[in-house]
Amino acid sequence: MPIQPKTTPLGELLQRAGLLSPAQLEVVLQDQRWQPDLRIGDILELRGWVKRDAIEFFAEQWPQLATGGRDRPLGYYLQQAGLLDAHQVEALLKEQQQAGLRIGALAVLHGWLSQETLDWFLRSLAPEESASSAFIKRRQVAPNQAQTSSPKPVTESPAKASTEPSLDDISWAG
């Protein structure tokens, strides 16, 4: 019989993700002691503290993501968790091209996602991005390169480089 990986209880997972406060978790656990036939997810939904999409995502999809890794952009998982909807993701991707910010940072600026939740998703699903700047890296000629006597050839025009991020810079974003 295969050994099951240790899973984090749903309430603790939602708390780590910044979707549930310690006080809320305590209330939910107390409610469950009084009504043992209700699951924690049901209580959270009844109280209006966490949406059903997020509960289902963390209860059903997260265990596979935590053990198997991600194969899609971060924006996809934020949408699957019900934290962003399709229109928000689309708007963020458009705004990303103009503002030069990652969609997670833009979602936080719009108030659609807490910084705590974004940080947790990045640490959990994209640790290589968790310490990255909120700004998209763009290919530009450094000022000291322009002053050298033998400048290296630039394959893109400076205007194009400043408006189009490379695909690998935003591939995680959605």
The CA–CA distances, whole Å, from 131 to 64, 65, 112, 120, 142 equal 24, 20, 21, 12, 23
Domain ranges of the chain: 1-69, 71-135+170-174
Neighbour count for residue 151 (Cβ, 10 Å): 10
Give the per-residue pLDDT at 68. 77
pLDDT in tens, 56-86: 999 999 988 877 777 888 889 999 999 999 9
Nearest to 80 by CA among 120, 51, 109, 105: 51
Higher pLDDT residue, 156 or 64? 64
The mean pLDDT of 2-28, rounded to a whole number, is 85
pLDDT number for residue 100: 86
Residue 53's pLDDT is what?
Answer: 95
pLDDT at 152: 43
Q: pTM above 0.85?
A: no
Tell me the H-state helices in 35-174: 40-47, 52-56, 62-68, 74-80, 86-99, 103-110, 115-125, 127-130, 143-146, 158-163, 167-170
Q: What is the pLDDT of residues 111-141, one digit of tens each?
A: 999 999 999 998 888 777 666 656 665 544 4
143 vs 80, higher pLDDT: 80
Query: What pLDDT, on a 0 to 100 scale, did the predictor assign at position 168?
Result: 46
Question: What does pLDDT average to over the chain?
Answer: 79
Instruction: Using the predicted structure, report yes or no on whether residue 146 has a pLDDT greater than 50.
Output: no
- Give me the pLDDT at residue 164, please: 46
List pLDDT tens digits, range 85-102: 999 999 999 999 898 888
